[in-house]
Structure 1
Amino acid sequence: DELLFMVVHQASELWFKAILHELEELVARMEGKNALGALYTVGRLNALTRIVTAQLSALDTLPPQHFAQFRGFLGSSSGSQSAQFRAIEAASGLREPHFLNAISEHGEPPEIVRKWIARPTLQNLLDGMISDAGTTYEELYSGPGPGALVLLAEGLLEYEQSFSLWRFLHVQLVERIIGPGTGGTGGTLGAKYLQRTISTRFFPRLWEVRAKFFGAAKK
């Protein structure tokens, strides 16, 4: 059981590293207004996010009484406390107070997290690409066909949904093993933090534009 937990944890860190690499590439291509290149990169990003989500199911086989026997020896081995995981959240666009409080929970945030916080969010970069194209979100989705920008926007929305699914399944896993209300491994906020971030939007304007279409239909 302990070996399984450590393998999943270490494998997750490797996938987080790959996801951060693709986020770097995605940001560079979006800053360069390369919609087709960004579309290719977000496709790979989504594939990696699905992988890191799928492997959580292996820990569903971990009995709580067995986990309790070695939990105290894990130190800071917490998925949600991982510096790379926090960097992914920052790179994706989290700037909410609960996120900023969480990354400072045990002192100054890691350098990799501070670096991403100082950079534009993916939402900001998408805003810039749409503005430079001389259009708006409503016009983009009202066009004659799904061009590169629309496909990129939908790919980014898929990424947000995949990441939210990872959070949700992680919450379910944590509560299944250690119960609701128990602090996370490594002295973290555990499932409580993940629950608060499930509803956080990386791309609020991509959700808002959908509501506008239905609002217009009622008039």
Structure 2
Amino acid sequence: QVSELWMKLIIHELRAAIAHLQADDLGPCQKILARVKQIQKQLFEQWAVLETLTPSEYLAFRQVLGPASGFQSLQYRAIEFLLGNKNRDMLRVFAHDPEAQSQLAAMLQAPSLYDEFLRHLKRHGYAIPTECCARDWSNPYTRNPGLLPVLREIYEHPDQHWDAYHLCEQLVDVEEAFQLWR
């Protein structure tokens, strides 16, 4: 299906964005995140076509789509994990497919895009709390009040923190697009 191809590309791009963040190479990371946003736009805009169908028109071809749902999609879960929405219980869904389960387990154990963003900020002198950068990556992220002063500084003085500000905005855009698609 077309959605699976788009998701495969998103996974490729998110992995590349994470690698660029790890290398503190923001230019390519920002370009990649802009591309991810456009891919996400394609994913949620395709629903406009389906909205033109009546329920009976949709049911006329629904059976050819198969029984899979987003809940069962390895690629959907991979995107969630790469973006930081981690849930160890999702590994059980893929117990029947050890290779898929192993791929997801590796992503569960690795820092997400947001985690790498925080680590990047810390490497560049921002007062990111240590517990945000040295934690069990497989656990869901928990809000840390120590981040608020850092993000406030970035947003109140974007001209002094342009790279961090721009990256914050791109992360918000990607998250917003994910919520629309979801």
Normalised TM-score (structure 1): 0.63
Tell me by how many angstroms 1:58 deviates: 1.4
Task: Find the residue that maps to 2:14 and give its secondary structure.
Answer: helix
Counterpart in 1 of 2:56? 65
Equivalent position amino acid for 1:25 in 2: A
The answer to whether the Cα contact below 8 Å between 1:35 and 1:149 also exists between their aligned partners in 2 is no
Tell me by how many angstroms 1:121 deviates: 1.3
Counterpart in 2 of 1:153? 168
Unpaired runs of at least 5, structure 1: 1-9, 168-219
Counterpart in 2 of 1:137? 151
- Which residue, out of 28, 43, 58, partners 1:52? 43
Larger mean Cα displacement after TM superposition, 37-46 or 67-76: 67-76
Distance 1:34 1:95 in 2: 25
Indicate the percent of aligned positions where both proteins have the same amino acid: 29
- Which residue, out of 89, 103, 109, partners 1:101? 89
Distance 1:82 1:45 in 2: 19
- Which residue, out of 56, 80, 89, partners 2:80? 89
Tell me by how many angstroms 1:64 deviates: 2.2
Tell me by how many angstroms 1:152 deviates: 0.8
1:12 counterpart = 2:11:
no
List per-residue Cα deviations over 1:158-203 (Å, max 9, x = no partner).
0000000111xxxxxxxxxxxxxxxxxxxxxxxxxxxxxxxxxxxx
Equivalent position amino acid for 2:162 in 1: G
Equivalent position amino acid for 1:81 in 2: Q
Distance 2:49 2:57 in 1: 15
Tell me by how many angstroms 1:36 deviates: 2.1
Task: Find the residue that maps to 2:13 and give its secondary structure.
Answer: helix
List per-residue Cα deviations over 1:124-164 (Å, max 9, x = no partner).
11111111111232322232515112101110110000000
Counterpart in 2 of 1:191? none
Tell me by how many angstroms 1:106 deviates: 5.4
1:115 counterpart = 2:106:
yes
Tell me by how many angstroms 1:68 deviates: 4.0
RMSD of Structure 2 on Structure 1 (CA): 2.2
Distance 2:90 2:158 in 1: 44
Equivalent position amino acid for 2:89 in 1: N
Task: Find the residue that maps to 2:93 and give its secondary structure.
Answer: coil
How many residue pairs end up in the alignment?
A: 155
Distance 2:106 2:67 in 1: 22
